[in-house]
């Protein structure tokens, strides 16, 4: 029995801990900061709001409450299951299991939110610029706590920074995809 408990706890710890290597460990955005997200970019029904690393889906639910279509990507299997359960009553929420680094975001994405470790910002900037260039549509990007180096934010609300990515932005011609 003790062996089972040790293996089970080990499995839980490893399955929660491994995501740290791909983005950030799970820390939820608190309710007050969820309000900051909603205020820095007032969502419309036509918006497609994407949370890369969506955790338990708290920000997705707030976006869906505004009428937007909300899409999450979650690498932690437990969090993915929990978020699916917590969001089960929202027809306008979709949550994908797996690493967002390996997925193409929805072509009609209008806003991306993230709460990730700052060291992943340059990689995420390259991914978002590539997406914007590919689909020829601008996207707004909200990041919790971490700025993008050398890129001017449009707005700040509490710990949130809002950026805008435009297709074929000349400023970014030196970005290596």
Ligand X SMILES: C[S@@+](CC[C@H](N)C(=O)[O-])C[C@H]1O[C@@H](n2cnc3c(N)ncnc32)[C@H](O)[C@@H]1O
Distance CA 110, CA 95 (A): 17
Out of 15, 35, 94, 99, the only residue in the binding site for ligand X (CB under 6 A) is 99
Q: Does 160 bind ligand X (CB under 6 A)?
A: no
Distance in Å, CB of 28 to ligand X, minimum: 4
Distance in Å, CB of 49 to ligand X, minimum: 11
Q: Both tokens of residue 109? A: 């994405």
Closest CA to 116 of 12, 19, 16: 19
Distance in Å, CB of 24 to ligand X, minimum: 4
What are the CB-based long-range contacts (under 8 Å, 24+) for 34-39?
34/58, 34/59, 34/62, 36/157, 36/158, 36/159, 36/160, 37/62, 37/113, 37/142, 37/144, 37/160, 38/62, 38/63, 38/66, 39/157
Segment near ligand X (CB under 6 A), from 46-54, 124-132, 148-156, 165-173? Answer: 46-54
Q: Does 23 bind ligand X (CB under 6 A)?
A: yes
Q: Would you call 96 helix, strand, or coil by DSSP?
A: strand
Distance in Å, CB of 173 to ligand X, minimum: 27
If the CB atoms of residues 54 and 132 are measured against ligand X, the closer one turns out to be 54
Out of 41, 49, 100, 161, the only residue in the binding site for ligand X (CB under 6 A) is 100
Q: Interface residues with ligand X (CB under 6 A)?
A: 19, 22-24, 26-29, 51, 53-55, 58-59, 73-76, 79, 99-101, 115
């Amino acid at each position: 029995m003790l062996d089972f408990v040790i293996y089970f706890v080990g499995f839980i710890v490893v399955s929660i801990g491994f995501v740290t290597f791909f983005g950030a460990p799970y820390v939820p955005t608190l309710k007050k900061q969820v309000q900051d997200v909603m205020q820095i970019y007032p969502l419309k029904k036509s918006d497609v709001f994407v949370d890369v690393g969506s955790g338990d889906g708290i920000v997705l639910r707030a976006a869906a409450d505004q009428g937007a279509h909300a899409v999450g990507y979650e690498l932690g299997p437990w969090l993915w299951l929990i978020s699916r359960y917590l969001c089960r009553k929202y027809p306008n929420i979709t949550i994908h299991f797996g690493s967002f680094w390996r997925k193409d975001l929805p072509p009609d994405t209008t806003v991306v939110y993230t709460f990730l470790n700052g060291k992943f910002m340059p990689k995420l900037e390259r991914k978002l610029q590539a997406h914007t260039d590919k689909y020829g549509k601008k996207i707004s990007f909200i990041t919790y706590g971490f700025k993008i180096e050398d890129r001017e934010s449009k707005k700040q609300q509490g710990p949130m920074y809002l950026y805008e990515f435009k297709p074929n932005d000349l400023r970014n011609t030196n970005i290596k995809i």
